[in-house]
Amino acid sequence: MTVSLPQPHKTLVTADGFLNVLQITDLHLHEDPATIIHGNHLQHNFESVLAQALAEALRCDLILVTGDLVSEVNPDIYERIYQRLRATGIPFACIAGNHDVTDETGKQLPFAQRRLIAQPANADLVNHYVIESPDWQILLIDTSVPGQVAGKIHPDSVEWLRQQLTQCDKRALLALHHHVLPMQSAWIDAHMAANPAVLWDLLADFPQVRALVHGHTHQEQVRHKQGVTVYATPATSYQFLPQVDEFAYDQEARPGYRWLQLAANGEIKSWVQRLG
């Protein structure tokens, strides 16, 4: 039997009280499944990451896909992804990244010369979405802005988060695409969520928010701010070189994924695994 998350709410209950979440991000799939970017076979990487993660001894209770599922906005690519996720039999949820709402023309040109074209988000990408266990709430918001690379904490997301966190004091994990803390890399930090202070001002009022996970940066990082642990997760596609001011691929880093184990007592364990 295949399983997908019904909207707008899903409750997950496990026998041992642990909620094991697999985060994958930045698939960047193309209409042609054979597409290779900078030596990375994108479809193969996605399939291999998912297979490797689900072959581990750890039970997977939920798969989160945190944006940039595609590099070409095409419904056929999404259906290919959703079919693969449904085939796992594991609940999943996907949010939009900038590439899910923006097409580029002139990809052979330097980035500044390309034209960015706004596109509507795929209907099965979620926003303002809650997944609950007896002890945790996982909150998903969409930070994408059609036609732009940088993101935004949208006013309706702030109000939705405030309402949700006010009415539910369970410990919370927040998932979004764009980063909200600088990565010390000038080129990618020019494309983070443009107004992160709005989010941090909100979270200061809600100490039950324990962690935040995001994609977009194609690299691993763990930071702490206001009692919140912020996890950046490697892409399944290709990786960016950390802490450089000009765009560069990381030649050494392999595609990766993140596990988050949420315990009933509020503890979080998280780690990154790399393909192969």
* pLDDT reported for residue 3: 44
| pLDDT score at 143 | 98
pLDDT of residue 114: 77
Summarize pLDDT for 33-63 with one digit per residue, the tens: 999 999 999 999 999 999 999 999 999 999 9
For the chain, domains (ranges, CATH) are: 15-274 (3.60.21.10)
Tens of pLDDT along the chain (276 residues) come to 344 565 546 899 999 999 999 999 999 999 999 999 999 999 999 999 999 999 999 999 999 999 999 999 999 999 999 999 999 999 999 999 999 999 987 676 666 677 899 999 999 999 999 999 999 999 999 999 999 999 999 999 999 999 999 999 999 999 999 999 999 999 999 999 999 999 999 999 999 999 999 999 999 999 999 999 999 999 999 999 999 999 999 999 999 999 999 999 999 999 999 998
Give tens-digit pLDDT for 142-155: 999 999 999 999 99
Q: What is the pLDDT of residue 2?
A: 40
Specify whether the CB–CB gap between 177 and 96 falls below 8 A.
Answer: yes
